[in-house]
Amino acid sequence: MRKLLVTGGAGFIGSNFVHHVIEHTDDHVTVLDKLTYAGNRASLDGLPGDRFAFVEGDIADAILVDSLFVEADAVVHYAAESHNDNSLNDPRPFLDTNIVGTYTLLEAARKHGTRLHHISTDEVYGDLELDDPERFTENTPYNPSSPYSSTKAGSDLLVRAWVRSFGVQATISNCSNNYGPYQHVEKFIPRQITNVIRGIRPRLYGKGENVRDWIHAEDHSSAVLTILDKGVIGETYLIGADGEKNNKSVVELILELMGQDAEAYDHVTDRAGHDLRYAIDSTKLRTELGWEPQYRDFDAGLAATIDWYRANELWWSADKDGVEAFYASKGQ
């Protein structure tokens, strides 16, 4: 039984990964999570006690991190401050977690010789023009545009430096936008879904032409596990499922799937520095490691996600009012 340490495992993508590992392997998982507003202990409810443990704490706490690395065979690093709007409002937590926290983990991996996989984002590459046929690859130059993406780019570079300078056994993955269960209601898709459930008209930044490359969190999880098991040390792998959709079409599809008029939403002032288009070329991951996404039908995946939020209102309802109050204060 391999012992995995998963940082940020009570967050959206991290909790989906933990469930995936428990379901598809014999590994034991210890989650380290600070339980900020974006982490929810309830996302890990029901996991078997003999294969799962939870530790509340900060990845920048070197003493705590060291004690957990002693017991870990491998570490998957999801923990991050990750909301663009929040990074524009207060960048400091993004530096503390994404830069200092990642440094702390790298030093522990260096000390103990522990295998580490670092989760990153396609936002480190900046954005593409709407009419650009190109997609991001592992060789695309970094061009981050927000405090969030800048700190994630910085954390990626730290991982690469620790691999080259100190021989740390690490890999990196940069993934496109995730959707699925357990995502905080501040994020684009769950915010629109829960607005409709609450009888609130969805809101769309600008004209809604911004394109995101959507992937179901289950597919992200299977890709990460594949990289952990088969990835070449020092390599970066891009994770994507060919799911490019503009925000306008996603909002309209949500409304249609929920039995509403597809045009029953409002436009609000666009976000500062709002990237135009993300698109992932995951050829390297597919050809070299043999990974393939399972959730190829975005409509079906989105319908299942809507069903999850309808069935789990107790999970998200406590956060909803605060999120909407925050956005209302900004006219969004």
Residue 45 bears catalytic tag: no
> Which one of the listed residues 78, 148, 278, 295 is annotated catalytic?
148
Secondary structure element (H or E) that encloses residue 328, with its range: helix 313-329
Kindly state the tokens that stand for 132: 């650009």
- Which one from 122, 127, 156, 219 is the annotated catalytic residue? 122
All residues at 6 or more sequence positions from 126 whose CB lies less than 8 Å from its CB, including other chains: 142, 143, 144, 145, 149, 275
Cβ contact 78:13 at 8 Å:
yes
Is 40 exposed, middle or buried, given 0-12, 13-18 or 19+ CB atoms closer than 10 A? buried
What are the structure tokens assigned to 104, written together? 């702390």
Cβ–Cβ contacts within 10 Å for residue 315, how many? 17
Element holding 247 (H helix, E strand): helix 247-257
Q: Which of 27, 58, 81, 123 is catalytic?
A: 123
d(CA 325, CA 332): 10
> Which residues, 6+ apart, have CB-to-CB distance to 247 below 8 Å?
188, 204, 205, 208, 209, 210, 211, 212
Q: Number of C-alpha atoms within 13 angstroms, CB side, residue 221?
A: 24
Q: Are 103 and 96 in contact (CB under 8 A)?
A: no
CB 247 within 8 A of CB 274: no
Token pair 């702390």: residue: 104
148 classed as catalytic: yes
For 304, counting Cβ atoms within 10 Å of its Cβ (0-12 exposed, 13-18 middle, 19+ buried), the class is middle
Q: What are the catalytic residues?
A: 122-123, 148
